[in-house]
Amino acid sequence: MTAVGLEFDQLKSSADALRRSVSNRLMYGVGKDAVTARPQDWLHAAALAVRDRLVERWMVTTRRQYDQDAKRVYYLSMEFLIGRTFSNALLALGIHDAMKEALASLGVDMDALIDLEPDAALGNGGLGRLAACFLDSMATLGIPGFGYGIRYDYGMFRQQIVNGEQVEEPDYWLRSGNPWEFPRPEVQYPVHFGGRTVQRNGTVEWIETHTVNAMAYDTIIPGYATSATNTLRLWSARACEELDLSAFNQGDYQRAVEARNLSENVSRLLYPDDSTMAGRELRLRQEYFFVSATMQDLIRRYLRTHSTFGRFSDKVAVHLNDTHPVLAIPELIRLLVDVHHMPWDEAMGHIKRVFSYTNHTLMPEALETWDVELLSRLLPRHLEIIFDINAAFLREASESKEKGVHDLDFIRRISLVDEYGQRRVRMAYLAIVASHTVNGVSKLHSQLMTRHIFADFARLFPERFTNVTNGITPRRWLAQASPPLARLVDETIGTQWRKDLFELGALRKVAGDAAFEEAFRAAKRENKVRLIQRMTARTGLAFNPDALFDMQVKRMHEYKRQLLNVLHVITRYNRIVQAPERDWVPRVVLFAGKAASAYRMAKTIIRLINDVAEKVNHDPVVGDRLKVVFVPNYGVSVAEVVIPAADLSEQISTAGTEASGTGNMKLALNGALTMGTLDGANIEIGEAVGADNIFIFGNTADQVDALRGAGYRPRQIYEENAGLRMALDQIRRGFFAPDDPARYQEIFHTLVDWGDHYMVLADYAAFVQAQEAADRRFVDVRSWTASAIENVAGMGMFSSDRAIAEYAREIWHTKPVDTGR
């Protein structure tokens, strides 16, 4: 092929140029004129006009990475919770205002278009959103990084609240087409399942498999204010031609179509994160499907510029976002050894230099394991490889001179195969054994990881374990989500904070400046009013923008303890009813979050919140003093409206359970004070903002352990605390569910009689006290504002740019590529 010089338009960024582009894209891209175009068509045309401006940068970046033979990072994740792209791309390109003007001149209101874009909700929560923030930061820092994942047809379900209950609706986000992606039908790889292995002249062959093709879809990830971009490549399942042809030849057309559907199911839907790991076969298929295509793709890309594998581990870093993509390890070995005929030891050498792994949970029941029987049926060759890795690893360990390491009990504990009961492969152990680095996501989490769940491995490979505290992208979570606050920060300290979040520290120089404090409150108030408008439209209720906005927004999980928050709300309600004349600090307590569809307790908690809200909001004695809302369908776009309106951020997980949390960072960056336990990144947030600017309460992780060891007695706490007893009795007796008084008995018993696993009652008294302290602070308006500003000022280290710089330097050993601009 010869490379001819293309003649293409250099696209400009003026309002005029954008107006022409949008018009062109509407005509030639969407096939509509201004008369027939619906708002959806305008959005599509505007998105294409923006995308066109990204493509040029994309080509330049890709070319430079290639020319410099740069080391590439492959970030493997089952989830990428991107949200909307339009505003984000406008911001990255610096063309927000110009585009608004261009569209206005065409008679189109850009703000109305923005709300039409569906979220790309290809993730559950923290882990998926972290991957999206990391893509943003890799591009912004110029690190050659590829996100690899699955292009689910159905993302995270949409949550409706019907009569107080969660109802799930499928999210077919591709309904109106996706203007941001480039389908690559020419990039397809076969992915095999089932069959059996045979030995033939010293190599293993995997035969008689069923095959699905993985087809690539590329999305450009723009860096902020740089010409650097990256690529998110998502795989979609396509049935193989051979499969249906054979059936079709036999005259069974219907069966042929059905078979196609079945094999394409592999990329159909995102699995909701459950309270425990559900051993679903389709989930295992998904995990293998995307890592197999990804490993084939990266080998092909490497071999395009290298004739041998000699420099493979200098040019490739593969990062595993939790264990979900861990089959990439045996798959890469299979490809190197069986397909490319590399000796086993050499392949293992590469593996250990290429892979790194992030753990995101300490809860043993959430660690992935797969049934050996299922693996042998679906991935027989990979099971052999895992057994071989295990044998070599256990041999090495048992030859170790270190005391205690080679005893049988130890060997059994560290084996990649759990032999107790039904045999299962421990995916986290496989990830640790085959990676050069394993990290946790906050200081505390990384410590506990090596002290508890991975203690044996930390003893074997102490140098392998490290910490990289999570971060969030300030572009989306401040610049985009909170225009009033972003504007104020710009006016006060300049605009550099978007690229260097430590710049926010300069806000300390206006600490105590009454005019700045006033402007800060005005910005927050604007965000509250924006939120109230939406809440009132939905509920018909009125909310006071001068109330304390208290929020717990995150997935519904027992360990996150929404129940503790509810107990405080009920207590506050009871106290208001008993003494309405006291000078109550008005509060709006807002909850939002989805429960996994199979997680019954989490769904019951949602219903309780809605029942409590119903009671409280319609009690005439209460009025403005307390309002409770459950905002439905929490996701990236809802978060962008809700978070900037918060005064108080509830981060109240049982100490030792929340690996990091990232919502805590988003809220603090938006000037909310944290109400938190000493868990996850809350600890580091406290260090960064100072003890006076955060409300810390409750048992520490060590105290939780000690309490468990000593025999925790929740019933005693219930009996001895009158306020708590009243709230729990109301729950038990159906005070909030008069039509079905038994509805919440299970909640009562879980807390009082069945062990209260997450120690809600143990922290109740301290929590209520801390809430009283928050009330007292809030009425001292200046002191509260000063603390809120300290929170914003202290958020420097929680930028995902800082996190990615650490990964790049300490783990991936990659450098930014110079893209010239």
Q: Is 150 in the site for ligand 26Q (CB under 6 A)?
A: no
Q: Is 130 in the site for ligand 26Q (CB under 6 A)?
A: yes
The edge-to-edge listing of strands for the beta sheet with 673-676 is 626-630, 587-592, 548-553, 648-651, 673-676, 695-696
Q: Is 472 in the site for ligand 26Q (CB under 6 A)?
A: no
| Binding mask of the shown chain, residues 710 to 749, with x at each position contacting ligand 26Q by CB under 6 A | ----------------------------------------
Nearest CB to ligand 26Q, comparing residues 361 and 562? 361
Q: Is 117 in the site for ligand 26Q (CB under 6 A)?
A: no
Q: Is 552 in the site for ligand 26Q (CB under 6 A)?
A: no
Count of other CB atoms within 10 angstroms of residue 59: 13
543 burial via Cβ count (<10 Å: 0-12, 13-18, 19+): buried
Residue 673: strand, helix, or coil: strand
Length of the chain: 821
Q: Which residues are annotated as catalytic? A: 360, 554-555, 560, 662, 666
Quick one: which of 255, 316, 285 has its CA closest to 191? 285
Q: What is the DSSP letter of 588?
A: E
Instruction: Name the minimum Å distance from CB 559 to ligand 26Q.
Output: 9
Among 84, 98, 122, 125, binds ligand 26Q (CB under 6 A): 125
Contacts of 252 (CB under 8 A, 6+ apart): none
Q: What is the DSSP letter of 272?
A: P
Q: Would you state the structure tokens that stand for residue 80, as one six-digit string?
A: 């990428």
The radius of gyration computed from the CA coordinates of the chain, to the nearest angstrom, equals 27
Identify each DSSP E strand in 520-631 by its residue range. 548-553, 587-592, 626-630
Instruction: Name the minimum Å distance from CB 501 to ligand 26Q.
Output: 18
**Which amino acid, 284?**
L
Stretch that binds ligand 26Q, among 573-581, 627-635, 653-661, 743-751 (CB under 6 A): 653-661
- Full DSSP string of 685-753: HHHHH-GGGSEE-S--HHHHHHHHHH---HHHHHHH-HHHHHHHHHHHHTTT-TTSTTTTHHHHHHHHT
Q: Is 661 in the site for ligand 26Q (CB under 6 A)?
A: yes
Say how far apart CA 344 and CA 336 lie, in whole Å.
Answer: 8
Instruction: Name the minimum Å distance from CB 333 to ligand 26Q.
Output: 23
Q: Is 554 in the site for ligand 26Q (CB under 6 A)?
A: no
Say how far apart CA 320 and CA 78 lie, in whole Å.
Answer: 10
| Residues near ligand 26Q (CB under 6 A), total | 22
Q: Would you state the structure tokens that stand for residue 379, as one six-digit string?
A: 């991935």
Identify each DSSP E strand in 530-604 by its residue range. 548-553, 587-592
CB 76 within 8 A of CB 289: no
**Which amino acid, 345?**
D
**Which amino acid, 786?**
A
CB 725 within 8 A of CB 717: no
| Binding mask of the shown chain, residues 677 to 716, with x at each position contacting ligand 26Q by CB under 6 A | ---x------------------------------------
Instruction: Name the minimum Å distance from CB 368 to ligand 26Q.
Output: 6
Nearest CB to ligand 26Q, comparing residues 247 and 704? 704
Token match 């996100």: residue? 147
Binding residues among 433-452 for ligand 26Q as defined by CB under 6 A: 441
Say how far apart CA 347 and CA 343 lie, in whole Å.
Answer: 6
Among 658, 684, 790, 801, binds ligand 26Q (CB under 6 A): 658
Count of other CB atoms within 10 angstroms of residue 310: 10
Stretch that binds ligand 26Q, among 61-69, 114-122, 644-652, 658-666 (CB under 6 A): 658-666
Instruction: Name the minimum Å distance from CB 343 to ligand 26Q.
Output: 34
| Binding mask of the shown chain, residues 327 to 366, with x at each position contacting ligand 26Q by CB under 6 A | ---------------------------------xx-----
Binding residues among 253-272 for ligand 26Q as defined by CB under 6 A: 271
Nearest CB to ligand 26Q, comparing residues 365 and 740? 365
Stretch that binds ligand 26Q, among 14-22, 276-284, 623-631, 641-649 (CB under 6 A): 276-284
Q: Is 517 in the site for ligand 26Q (CB under 6 A)?
A: no
Say how far apart CA 395 and CA 758 lie, in whole Å.
Answer: 39
Stretch that binds ligand 26Q, among 137-145, 277-285, 509-517, 798-806 (CB under 6 A): 277-285
Nearest CB to ligand 26Q, comparing residues 324 and 436? 324
Among 96, 192, 283, 575, binds ligand 26Q (CB under 6 A): 283
Q: Which residues bind ligand 26Q (CB under 6 A)?
A: 124-127, 130, 271, 273-274, 277-278, 283, 360-361, 368, 441, 470, 658-662, 680
